[in-house]
Amino acid sequence: MTETGEGGGGIIRSIYENGAILANAPDPAAAEEAVDYALLEHTAPKRVLLIGGGVNGGVAEALKHPTVESLDYVELDPALIGMARQYFPAQTADFDSDPRVHLHFLDGRRFLSETGEKFDAILVDVPDPQSAQLNRFYTAEFFRLARAHLLPGGLLALQLRSSEETIGPDLAAFLQSIRRTLAEVFPYQAAIPGETIHFFGAMQPGVLTTDPQVLVARLRERKLNTQYVREYFIPYRMMPDRMEQVETELASSASTPVNRDFAPIAYAFDVVLWSAQFRSGYAGWFRAAEHVEFGKVAGWLAIALLVGAGLMTILPGQERRERAAAGSCVAATGFTLMALEIFLLLGFQAVFGYVYTELAILIGLFMAGIALGSWLAMGRGGAAQGWRMVRVQLLLAAAAPMLLLVVGWLGSFPSTAGEWIAAQVIFPALAALAGVLGGYQFVVAAGIFLRDRAGRSGLGALYAIDLLGGCAGALALSTFLIPVFGFWKTAWLAVAINAAALLPAARAELINQKAARRLADLGGVAPDLPDIPRRKINKDDPNP
């Protein structure tokens, strides 16, 4: 909570959460614009759903419209309402006093998934998609969910940052993506330009209007007492040249990406807008990353992995090749575990709408799985270690796509009981299973990496390799791969990384197996391969 201003200018209080501003008070301009334009687009809104934005006056503003009979206000965090009641009493007085208001402490998407109610207008007043959590309110999946809860003649409304005059290339790319995503679901759309741009979607023709005089007539008919959405300001905001300009600048093309739960490209666009505020090269990096083609990334990655795998196979000495293979498997495992953990958290969030109450459980079970996997691998030495490492790496290669298949399947559970089982049993089990694979692999690889090394002096180096793989995964996944390419393409890249790691390991074990068989043939040793001691073969020795 911050407080600014004093004296004749008045005091403005603001609430921030996770770096994003949630509410200002008093801020009548924001409250009126977020609510009035949307409700004026409807001929007579009776049932209204407001997702976010109520604590800065959105609820009070919606209740000014005389046709409103019921207002459902959904807010995720009860603490926000508690703070607003204490510091914004004028904006929150209607929460308890007006019987039309129904307050729900729930994620907005979760509310729509569970309710059977339908609405004349659904208003989304949450911050821009500055995070994966917020991005969920600007995806095609959310728009379809909202569409299913609109009454005939109903509309969906949302607002985003924009520019009063010129829309730059970065901002245009961001808004074009949202506009095209909206068009994927709603055949009829409208936009009102300004410092904040208002998007509307409807399923039926004639619901939305871009005629400012129609909105002015409804404003007068409803006798709304407004300060900023006024009869003289609406025509200015919706001047024909401004409306034409915004339609031209936001016209999408075939290359304009659709924002989806598992392909959150709007998150990447918003990162560019955020980074452009600072005098650094970050904006340029993110801007260039947006336009990188997946085929090029996959091609260069394949070349790099094949070259790396090839170099490991020509290292002098079998022991060096085995240690290099073990190190590469550990690095790939660190990357993959980070991918699995992020997929789990974001997948749970996309399906169930929140992650706060499950965050500690999922991460705790993930770590418990690592401990269990390590314990299961302890004491399992012998010559079969290499093949165990290859088999586990193969499982890790398949883990990311399989996890996404399961997450997508869980999202289709229609019943409350099924949702509870998925949230409380299946997701935690997936977290534990991912950890088991990682813990098991580290111990097996350590046995190979440290074989015949006195004092186990290389364990720190191997652990550093593991952390390096996880660090690279965290940075690449969160800032580039998932926002730009989405979950599925990122999962296939993880498959390629694991495949490249297991190839040198498999080759090293094939060489070991061939050498063991040759030793058995030359020395008459029984070919019980797992028990054959490792020893150097001198082909010129008549009695090796």
What confidence score (pLDDT) does residue 526 get? 47
For 243-256, the three-class secondary structure string (H helix, E strand, C coil) is: HHHHHHHCCCCCCC
Domain residue ranges in the chain: 24-273, 325-531
d(CA 359, CA 413): 21
pLDDT in tens, 344-362: 888 888 777 766 777 788 8
pLDDT in the model for residue 436: 94
Tell me what pLDDT residue 234 has.
92
- First vs last C-alpha separation in the chain: 79
d(CA 227, CA 53): 18
CATH number for the domain running over 24-273: 3.40.50.150
Instruction: Look at residue 526 and give its three-state secondary structure.
Output: coil
Instruction: Report the distance separating Cα 4 and Cα 502, nearest Å.
Output: 59
Q: Which among 289, 279, 263, 414 is positioned nearest to 347, based on CA atoms?
A: 263
Element housing 153 (H / E): strand 150-161
CATH top-level class of 325-531? mainly alpha
Write down the pLDDT at residue 279. Answer: 63
Instruction: Give the pLDDT of residue 522.
Output: 67
Burial class of 402 by CB neighbour count within 10 A (0 to 12, 13 to 18, 19+) = middle
* Lookup result for tokens 């409804």: 218
Q: Between β-strands 150-161 and 196-202, what pairing exists: parallel, antiparallel or unpaired?
A: antiparallel
Instruction: Provide long-range contacts, Cβ within 8 A and 24+ apart, for 299-306.
Output: 301/493, 301/496, 301/497, 302/496, 305/496, 305/497, 305/499, 305/500, 306/500
Where the chain has pLDDT below 70, the residues are 6-9, 279-283, 290, 354-355, 380-384, 411-418, 452-457, 512-513, 515-516, 519-544
Distance CA 478, CA 268 (A): 10
pLDDT at residue 447, as a whole number: 85
Site of tokens 């001047």: 239
Based on the number of CB atoms within 10 Å of its own CB, is 26 exposed (0-12), middle (13-18) or buried (19 or more)? middle
